[in-house]
Structures are given as C-alpha cells and as structure tokens.
Amino acid sequence: MLVETDSCNSPFVLDANGLGRLIASLHASGHRVLGPTRRDNAVVYDEVRSTSDLPRGWVDEQAGGHYRLKREGEAYFGYTIGPTAWKSFLHPPKQSLWSTKTGNGQTEIRPASISDEKLAFLGVRACELAAIAVQDKVFLDGAYRDPHYAARRANLFIIAVNCGRAASTCFCSSMGTGPKAREGYDLALTEFITSEDVAFLAVAGSKEGAEMLSTLPTRPATQADIDASTEATAQAESQINRRIDTSGLSPLLKENPDHPRWNDVASRCLNCANCTMVCPTCFCTKVEEVSDLDGVETSRVQSWASCFTSDFSYIHGGAVRTTPKARYRQWMTHKLATWVDQFGTSGCVGCGRCITWCPVGIDITEEAAAIRSGNKGG
C-alpha cells in the first residue's frame, strides 16, 4: 500500500522490499546510487543497483590499526564505517581543472566541464553527515567556491542510516555528531529487527525526501516501531567508549607547540598519511601539469595531498615542516584547533577512521588527553 507522507517529521516503516524499491526509484529518477558494498574484505562505497549489492549480514571489528569483517546477523547496515569516505565522490582524488591544446601557432585554453550527474548516497552515518557539512563550509562558503564540488552537492540526494552498532574506535558522541542523524539528509532510516525480517523506520528530512517516501510501499509507524528504532540507536550510543574532552581544546593545542608528547607520537608515526586519506574532512590538494607525449595537450590536474608528506610544506629553499613531530602537530592542531578559526567548526567528526587505519594505532583521543594532562614543554 502506498501511503501519502503528510510532513517531513512523520515516521513510516519500510520493509526490505521497500528498500529495494527506494534504490530502484532513485535509479529511475536518473540518480547514480552509491552505497556500502563488500569488496577486498572491507565495506567500501561503490555502485549499488539493488539490495543484493549491500553487505547484508556483515559487521566490522575495529581497533587501533585493526579492521576485520565477520558474519553476524542479517542486518543490511550492521557495519559501522569502512576506509572510504563520501568525500571521494564530492571532492574526488583527482580532478581536472583545465586543459590547453596547441595547434597552428595558437593555444586554446579549455576549462574542465562541470558535471551534472545526479548522485544518491545510501547509508550515510551521522558522523559522515557532519563531515559533509564541514566540507560544505570549506568548498561553498566564503568568496571562493569550488564549482565542481558545488555542482555535485546541488544534485545530491542523501539517505542517512542511523547507527545500531558502534566500533571501538568511534567517538562521535564527544563531537556532538552522532550516532543519530539530526539534519542534512533527505531521508533517514533506522534499521531494526522484527519477528519476520528487518525493517526500517523512515523519516523525511526534505521536500524531496518526503516526495520520494510517498511513492514507496510503507505503513505508518507504530509506537512499537519507534521504540524499536530508538532502542537500536541507544545500543550504539552505549557501545561508544572512546571520549575526547573538547572543552578549551583549541587554545590548549595552540599554546603547547613544544609539549613533549609531540616527540612521543612522532617516534611512533610512520608518516604514511593514512589518517588524512581516510579522514572524511581533510581537503588538502596539490596541482600538477600533465602533458601528452607529443606536447600538443596539457592538463592541470588537482589531486589529494597530505600534510604528512615532506614536500607538502616545501617552499623555495626547503620544507617548513621537516620532522614527523612538526607534521603530526600540524595535522592534529589544525584538525582540532585552527580549523575552528578558519571555518567555525572542528575538523574532526569522531568517526575514528584515523585510529583504525593507522598502521601503529595512534589514537587522536589519547594524544589530546595526554597533552591536556601533561605539563607544558620547555
């Protein structure tokens, strides 16, 4: 039965068939649907054509420097988060900015085309919604807007999924970003188990979301459905054990550039840049000129970069940050302190990816606590 949605706040229930209809409807409306898939023993975001592409029955086991998938239950969204972030689609690892072509003694400059592709993100966690909002501030606010990001963002439909589990590396509650989505989505789903199968409490967060929901096979949510979804989210909240004290953290980091803890973490850091590559908010880039073999065409290509590489801070005559200590201090202080000065918000959303995917398990929450508890360096 199709039910008309009266408001963005009215909860409805979708079954697994309804989830499949949602995916099919998004494809029919011209969206490229991206969501969680299982590949290379990890949950990664990729093309989703139907519910069979989703990692049903798979959950993740995470710790510092540790990630494994295992079979458990029948939930479609039982995992927490994997190594990929949604920024790889909105702010891709490589982006052509413009190109030139030389011929007949003239050079033609051609700006890169702006994509009009309609994207739909399925399975966006609350911390990831916060990360998208952070990148919106970076790329859309202020005098200089990124036209490629803006075009992708304008054509984006977001289906959030509230967490029913938390990884041991999660600390979103400390950052006020989860585990329940509060804003920034078109539809929000909470998966819960029924006597027959899984079901999803669905709430629209936009006019477009309400219109989509009204076309799907739903039923009005009962109080039992609402209680079950609330319990699922509460379970995730109860599993979050990591914390970071954000009170006064910005001045604390900025006032302690010589704290001995920076040397301690530098002795463990491999400068591999994994933390910046998996981070859903890091946005640093470099540009390169790429020429074809005959020298007729040249492109300027923007690609992801990391403040952990020695050449990132290179200025004529040498690098500004020459040591692992300086590079880690730059990353963490920017993420938790000077980012606030730039954009009015923290650059950390508490997803814990940097902890999981650090080969030696460096934990940003432990480093912040150590600097808070220790004495100032001399």
CB 250 within 8 A of CB 344: no
180 and 280 belong to one structural domain: no
CB 79 within 8 A of CB 58: yes
What pLDDT is recorded for position 112? 93
With a pLDDT cut of 70, the percent of the chain lying above it is 97
77 and 163 belong to one structural domain: yes
What pLDDT is recorded for position 314? 83
Let me know if residue 234 belongs to a domain: yes
Let me know if residue 100 belongs to a domain: no
Give the domain-ending residue among 238, 269, 296. Answer: 238
What pLDDT is recorded for position 316? 82
79 and 214 belong to one structural domain: yes
- CB neighbours of residue 378 within 10 Å: 6
Give the domain-ending residue among 181, 211, 238. Answer: 238
Tally the domains of the chain.
2
Let me know if residue 290 belongs to a domain: no
22-30, long-range: CB within 8 Å, 24+ apart, which pairs?
A: 22/159, 22/187, 22/212, 22/216, 23/48, 23/49, 23/50, 23/51, 23/122, 24/50, 25/212, 25/215, 25/216, 26/120, 26/122, 26/157, 26/212, 29/118, 30/118
What pLDDT is recorded for position 118? 97
129 and 221 belong to one structural domain: yes
What pLDDT is recorded for position 143? 86
176 and 268 belong to one structural domain: no
* Nearest CA-CA partner of 241 in 355, 124, 84, 374: 355
Let me know if residue 296 belongs to a domain: no
* Predicted confidence band of residue 375 (pLDDT cuts 50, 70, 90): very low
Let me know if residue 109 belongs to a domain: no
How far apart CA 241 and CA 355 sit, in angstroms, is: 14
160 and 273 belong to one structural domain: no
137 and 280 belong to one structural domain: no
Which pair of structure tokens corresponds to residue 335?
Answer: 């993420």
How far apart CA 269 and CA 327 sit, in angstroms, is: 10
Mean of all residue pLDDT scores within the chain? 93
Mark out the alpha helices in the chain (DSSP H runs): 16-28, 87-90, 126-139, 147-154, 172-175, 207-214, 223-238, 249-254, 260-268, 274-278, 324-333, 339-343, 353-356, 364-373
Q: Summarize pLDDT for 57-116 with one digit per residue, the tens.
A: 999 999 999 999 999 999 999 999 999 999 999 999 999 999 999 888 888 999 999 999
CB 112 within 8 A of CB 96: yes
276 and 349 belong to one structural domain: yes
160 and 261 belong to one structural domain: no
32 and 180 belong to one structural domain: yes
* Nearest CA-CA partner of 129 in 23, 205, 66: 205
* Domain limits for position 74: 12-92+114-238
What pLDDT is recorded for position 8? 54
* Nearest CA-CA partner of 56 in 73, 41, 33: 73
Looking at this protein, which amino acid is placed at residue 314?
Answer: Y
221 and 274 belong to one structural domain: no
Let me know if residue 294 belongs to a domain: no
Let me know if residue 66 belongs to a domain: yes
Instruction: Sort strands 12-15 and 198-204 into parallel, antiparallel or unpaired.
Output: antiparallel
DSSP designation for 342: H
What pLDDT is recorded for position 2? 35
How far apart CA 281 and CA 303 sit, in angstroms, is: 15
Beta bridge partners, 99, equal: 110, 299
Let me know if residue 169 belongs to a domain: yes
How far apart CA 325 and CA 235 sit, in angstroms, is: 38
Q: Summarize pLDDT for 298-354 with one digit per residue, the tens.
A: 999 999 999 999 888 888 888 888 899 999 999 999 999 999 999 999 999 999 999
Q: Is the peptide bond before 179 cis (omega within 30 degrees of 0)?
A: yes
Q: Is it the case that residue 7 has pLDDT exceeding 60?
A: no
CB 86 within 8 A of CB 124: yes
* Nearest CA-CA partner of 81 in 147, 16, 129, 116: 129
What pLDDT is recorded for position 86? 98
42 and 160 belong to one structural domain: yes
CB 133 within 8 A of CB 142: no
Give the domain-ending residue among 238, 258, 275. Answer: 238
